[in-house]
Structure 1
Amino acid sequence: MSKTTPARVLIVTTSTPSYERAGYRTGLWLGELTHFWDVIEKEGHHLTVASVDGGQVPIDPESLSTLILAMGGTKKRYEDASFMSILDDTPTLDSIVDVAWDAVYLTGGHGTMFDFPHNPVLAEILVNTFESDGVVSAVCHGPAGFLGATLSDGSALVSGRKVTGFSWPEEKLAGRNKVVPFRLDEALKEEGAKYSKALRPMAEKVVRDGNLVTGQNPMSAEGVGKAVAKLLARRK
């Protein structure tokens, strides 16, 4: 258990269940929630899951395949009715925007590409946390939530900062390059981010720049959790 005071950690998920230009279903990539949750819960911190619109969180069906569920203990969580019930009725971002969070974590899944970018409520939560010396983190497509987030000095949240996120080669590998609304890597660069990716698609990559932590893909969610846990352990 953590020797520090338990932190208040917010996990944000998408509310988008499908693509706009194709019939593919999408939503939260479940492992990106469970892998992070397992690390932070072990440290004794308090976790809250909220979604953009509230209510039931859509889950990307591909993240529930037998092979994917077998990775990192996700299957055990998926079989736990008590844990999965957390996703049945989540609070809206609007309802928790005024809460002081020690850390915020943006989960991925392609749904985030539609309802995370330029979301004023999400941006307010991120900026308030970051400027209060809290930890801001994201994995895979989660960094889409950084787009449009502007600090009080007028600069973009990611401007001049090292980040990663789902790469274009990985998008092509997933067969979603023709239906995503934009390229995440290029959009982050346009806001001044110093984007980098692993040499091999789907290899784990975690980037920390101060209190900003990002992971490239589903394989990186646990690593993001560990990096966030270390930052929380440094709190007074």
Structure 2
Amino acid sequence: MIVTSKILIIVTNSDLFEKVGYRTGLWLSELVEFWDIAEEAGYKMDIASPSGGKTPLDPESLLITEMGDAIGLRGSLSRRYEDKGFMSRLDNTLKVSDADPAGYDAIYMTGGHGVMFDFPKSASLAELTAGFYEAGKIVSAACHGPCGLLEVKLSDGTYLINGKQITGFSWKEEKLANRDEAVPFNLEEELQKRGGRYSKAMMPFGSHVVEDGLLITAQNPKSTKNLGQAVIKKLKELKEIDSLPKEMFL
């Protein structure tokens, strides 16, 4: 694997639930928290979406910023939201079909309910993700992000997640968020239908990250930081292996 020190982040273009009038989009903290960790580790990042262009923000994800500001806890989320340069990236995302796995070491799929409406429908995203995995690169996703794994098939025709340890936003969490009647499908159930060995935290909204080789997934927003740390650790391990003399593997 040629090390690029770059990560491709995937976000949604969907801003509305199809059944009801709720607004949706990217869950901002799932971008910011991963970005902070990867940037600190020296990685550069590009942001892509199924259609390219603008990605909307889930308005509920901004409540975290507002509540933090109200009580004087101005963290990275607030700073990134106020950063015009950073936020402009979300107005001009790359188109997934224009991305090349050769330019990156890993792919990371963010969440927010918006991804449920465009990630699984994107043949280009499925093809791109398979390309990452079969090139020996990390495939990661958080919360609803694993929706982007549902239709990913490898060159032998099998689902990428078949037989793999995996997690994602649970149905119990969906009910507690009062979105069970609005979402187009049960992510927990669909992951299992494709052979995924699904697991979740003992308590809803508890942090839970699952690693299975090159596949790393996180259950919910609470898990994003731990996912980011797991991805960076795995990238370091792969880089160390790549630097070893090739004679050792003959």
For normalisation by structure 1, the TM-score amounts to 0.94
- Please give the alpha-carbon distance, in whole angstroms, between the structure 2 residues aligned to 1:52 and 1:111: 12
Structure with greater Cα Rg:
2
Q: Counterpart in 2 of 1:17?
A: 15
- Please give the alpha-carbon distance, in whole angstroms, between the structure 2 residues aligned to 1:202 and 1:91: 31
- Please give the alpha-carbon distance, in whole angstroms, between the structure 2 residues aligned to 1:68 and 1:133: 39
Q: Counterpart in 2 of 1:67?
A: 67
Give the C-alpha shift of residue 100 in structure 1. Answer: 3.7
- Please give the alpha-carbon distance, in whole angstroms, between the structure 2 residues aligned to 1:118 and 1:150: 13
The SS at the match of 2:42 is: coil
Q: Counterpart in 2 of 1:52?
A: 50
CA contact (8 A) 2:16 2:114 kept: yes
C-alpha offsets along residues 133-173 of structure 1, whole Å, 9 cap, x if unaligned? 10000000000000111011111010000000000111011
CA contact (8 A) 1:203 1:219 kept: yes
- Please give the alpha-carbon distance, in whole angstroms, between the structure 2 residues aligned to 1:231 and 1:116: 25
Letter in 2 for 1:106: M
The gaps in structure 2 that reach 5 residues or longer are: 243-250
- Please give the alpha-carbon distance, in whole angstroms, between the structure 2 residues aligned to 1:178 and 1:146: 22
Q: Counterpart in 1 of 2:146?
A: 143
The SS at the match of 2:94 is: coil
C-alpha offsets along residues 88-146 of structure 1, whole Å, 9 cap, x if unaligned? 11111122146542100000000110101142100111111001110000000000000
Name whichever structure is richer in helix by fraction. 2
Paired residue for 1:188, among 183, 191, 200?
191
Shifted more, 26-35 versus 46-55: the winner is: 46-55
The SS at the match of 1:40 is: helix
- Please give the alpha-carbon distance, in whole angstroms, between the structure 1 residues aligned to 2:57 and 2:193: 29
For normalisation by structure 2, the TM-score amounts to 0.89
The SS at the match of 2:107 is: strand
- Please give the alpha-carbon distance, in whole angstroms, between the structure 2 residues aligned to 1:218 and 1:19: 19
Shifted more, 27-36 versus 148-157: the winner is: 148-157
- Please give the alpha-carbon distance, in whole angstroms, between the structure 2 residues aligned to 1:148 and 1:6: 27
Q: Counterpart in 1 of 2:179?
A: 176
Q: Which runs of 4+ in 1 moved over 2 A?
A: 67-73, 97-101
Tell me how many residue pairs correspond in the alignment: 233
CA RMSD for the aligned pairs? 1.7
Paired residue for 2:119, among 104, 116, 121?
116
Letter in 1 for 2:108: Y
Give the C-alpha shift of residue 82 in structure 1. Answer: 1.5
